[in-house]
Amino acid sequence: MYTPQELRNITKELRTWIIEMITEAGSGHPGGSLSCIDILSVLWLNEMKEKDRFILSKGHAVPALYAVLSKMGLLAKEELKTLRKINSRLQGHPDRVRLPVLGASTGSMGQGLSVAQGIALGFKIDKKPDSVFCLIGDGESQEGQIWETALSAPKFKLSNLCVILDNNNGQIDGYVSDVMPIEPITDKWRSFGWHVLDIPGHDFEKIIKAFQDARQLKENGGTKPILIVARTIKGKGVSFMENQIDWHGIAPTKEVARKAVEEIEKNG
Amino acid sequence: MAKATRQAFGEAIARLGEKYPEIVILDADLSKSTKSDIFAKKFPDRFFEMGIAEANMIGTAAGLAFAGKLPFLCSFGCFLTGRYDTIRISAVYAQANIRLVGTHAGLGIGEDGHSQMGLEDVSLMRALPTMGVFQPMDSKETELIVKFLVEEWKGPAYLRLTRQTLPDLYPEGKVFEPCKLLSILENKNPKALLLGTGAGVSEAVGGAEMLSKQGISTCVWSAHALKPFDEKSLHSICHLFELVVTIEDHTVVGGLGTCVAEAFAKLNKHPPLLKLGVQDTFGESGTPAELFSKHGFSASEIVKNVKRFLNGSV
Ligand SMILES: Cc1ncc(C[n+]2csc(CCOP(=O)(O)OP(=O)(O)O)c2C)c(N)n1
Ligand SMILES: [Mg+2]
């Protein structure tokens, strides 16, 4: 178990890896990778047990996941340079056949959550104690399929399913609140029968606590699936990327990347 | 001017919007990529941002058509055609006069990889009764097809467009003949016909030029309509060749190669057919050039394939 301060330092490094990886690839999605990296760090480095599964439903943020997997020793640091290159296991969007640890193949929004539900159901049939975690986007939450799972997981009493919503209010055509508002989001999920936690998404103490609460709910015989609404900032950690819609899906130049990395290293 | 066909579409539909007030556009959080944003800026009241909700967009477009509008609905080809049953029932079975515009066709998008690539969209759309399936090879042909889809086509149609820039190939001054095969490059005593569609046409032209330097004469034709497919023209020209090669940035299962195979099946005699394209495998990350080469339909791969065949080693 890492302390919040240790996690903060590790995640700083992972942010620089994300920037370097995307810059080397020449394309990719910095905004949504930087908004979820704090959550992924806590989840993978502290919370997840060996047999738990994680599904990245918002697949375009996969550089964040590759960075964490590399930190965990599941991917060589050197391999991160192959992101998006021909014949690499590190595809632009998750490919579970090339890299089984990814758990699902995603990149078409709205699908990963259903797959996560299926794994959770499978665990339940086999009376396994393991959990399934799934990260979805707020733009992704406009897909009807998300709401089909929102409806079904409570019916199946999937308390072993913990979903995290990366609520960064950004998508491609603009702010989520303009493109197609999803608020009041906690009310919606609660009314569908989920246990909902609402946290600031870059506060390590709060993220750690939310996962502990989720685990306790499950261990105390809770029957509801859990949703953690993480209020995040798209592009978090690089001032000129923060809340800038244009940084959703472009790579920085080498020069701009150097500035970003300097800034991440200097700040926290 | 050489442009991505998505760019040519965005400009053309924004122009046509002036004359045809019934045109409306729907997009699913990709308007900057599909280039429907040009229309959106010009006609904000006739543009509907649907968010990331393609099925809802398709059904809504069908409804708009039933209310007398001419909806163009835009997204990546894979995400639109991925909502197959909605297209099949709400739009096609009900005969909604809508235009599905699927951009980011094929391996040509490069690094994003399989999940963002339209690779089976032509096959899926061709399978639907009455659906028109169109794919321009350059910006001029895009303009012509968009105009045709606004002014003449009745019923549902699918338009497949590229992310990447394509060179200008449309013959200067040539009058547009909708749904007809088009000759792009003629040579004397040709051995092979290189028939391309979309991004495949410029690869075919590149291949033909390389082959010609090596003393092998070929002709290049293009097919902008995959449905209805111009079997008649194909039947009348195919006997001039020892070999017919189809080139498409799409799976060879159900695309242009299949159109030709279906047409050939009606003849007693026809030349052998080589179907170049994605060979029933998945897309992947890489540069477009690397992918075209790896999957066997870049200009130099066309050369290799034609030579291998003509040397009898197939
Ligand atoms: C079905 C589908 N439609 C469209 C896209 C294209 N797309 C990729 S990312 C994205 C925006 C995602 O927004 P959000 O879920 O909020 O992600 P984040 O802000 O965390 O990057 C879109 C529309 C897609 N991947 N899948
Ligand atoms: Mg978002």
Report the pLDDT value the prediction gives residue B266, as an integer from 0 to 100: 98
Closest CB to B113: pick one of A93, A142, A173: A93
Contact partners, residue B247, CB within 8 Å, separation at least 6: B194, B195, B196, B197, B200, B201, B203, B204, B207, B256, B276, B277, B297, B302
User: Predicted ipTM?
Assistant: 0.97
User: Which residues of chain A are within 8 Å of residue B31 when distances are taken between CB atoms?
Assistant: 173
pLDDT one digit per residue (tens) for chain B, 314 residues: 899 999 999 999 999 999 999 999 999 999 999 999 999 999 999 999 999 999 999 999 999 999 999 999 999 999 999 999 999 999 999 999 999 999 999 999 999 999 999 999 999 999 999 999 999 999 999 999 999 999 999 999 999 999 999 999 999 999 999 999 999 999 999 999 999 999 999 999 999 999 999 999 999 999 999 999 999 999 999 999 999 999 999 999 999 999 999 999 999 999 999 999 999 999 999 999 999 999 999 999 999 999 999 988 54
Return the number of other C-beta atoms located less than 10 Å from residue A14's C-beta. 27
Which pLDDT band holds residue A127 (cuts at 50, 70, 90)? very high
Of all residues in chain A, the percent with pLDDT exceeding 70 is 100
Contact partners, residue A113, CB within 8 Å, separation at least 6: A55, A57, A134, A136, A145, A146, A149, A163
Q: What is the mean pLDDT of residues A107-113?
A: 98
Does the structure show a pLDDT above 50 at A35?
A: yes
- Residue list, CB under 5 A from ion ligand 2: A 137-139, 168, 170
Q: What is the mean pLDDT of residues A68-78?
A: 98
Report the pLDDT value the prediction gives residue B312, as an integer from 0 to 100: 81
- Cα of A249 vs centre of ligand 2, distance in Å, is 12
Does the structure show a pLDDT above 90 at A219?
A: yes
- Cα of B77 vs centre of ligand 2, distance in Å, is 22
Report the pLDDT value the prediction gives residue B39, as an integer from 0 to 100: 99
pLDDT in tens, A146-165: 999 999 999 999 999 999 99
- Cα of B261 vs centre of ligand 2, distance in Å, is 45
Q: What is the mean pLDDT of residues A30-36?
A: 98
Rounded to a whole number of angstroms, the distance from the CA of B10 to the nearest CA of chain A is: 16
- Mean of per-residue pLDDT scores for chain A: 98
Contact A139 B51 (CB under 8 A): yes
Q: What is the mean pLDDT of residues A108-137?
A: 98
pLDDT in tens, B89-145: 999 999 999 999 999 999 999 999 999 999 999 999 999 999 999 999 999 999 999
Report the pLDDT value the prediction gives residue B313, as an integer from 0 to 100: 53
Does the structure show a pLDDT above 80 at A268?
A: no
Q: Given B18, B22, B49, B54, which residue is catalytic?
A: B54
User: Which residues of chain B are within 8 Å of residue A91 when distances are taken between CB atoms?
Assistant: 113-114, 284-285
Contact partners, residue B186, CB within 8 Å, separation at least 6: B219
CB pairs under 8 A between A and B: 91
Could you give all domains of chain B from N- to C-terminal order, each with its CATH number?
Answer: 3-166 (3.40.50.970), 182-310 (3.40.50.920)
CATH code for the domain in which residue A58 is found: 3.40.50.970
Q: What residue numbers bound the domain in which A26 lies?
A: 4-267
Q: What is the mean pLDDT of residues A61-89?
A: 98
Contact B30 A85 (CB under 8 A): no
Whether the pTM exceeds 0.90: the reply is yes
Q: Would you call B54 a catalytic residue per the annotation?
A: yes
With contact defined as beta carbons under 8 Å apart, do B241 and B192 qualify? yes
Question: What residues does B70 pair with on adjacent strands?
Answer: B23
Judged by CB atoms within 8 Å, which residues 251-290 of B form the interface with A? 284-287, 290
**Rounded distance, CA B40 to CA A206, Å?**
41
| Structural domain total, chain A | 1
Burial class (CB in 10 A: 0-12, 13-18, 19+), B220: buried
Contact B52 A109 (CB under 8 A): yes
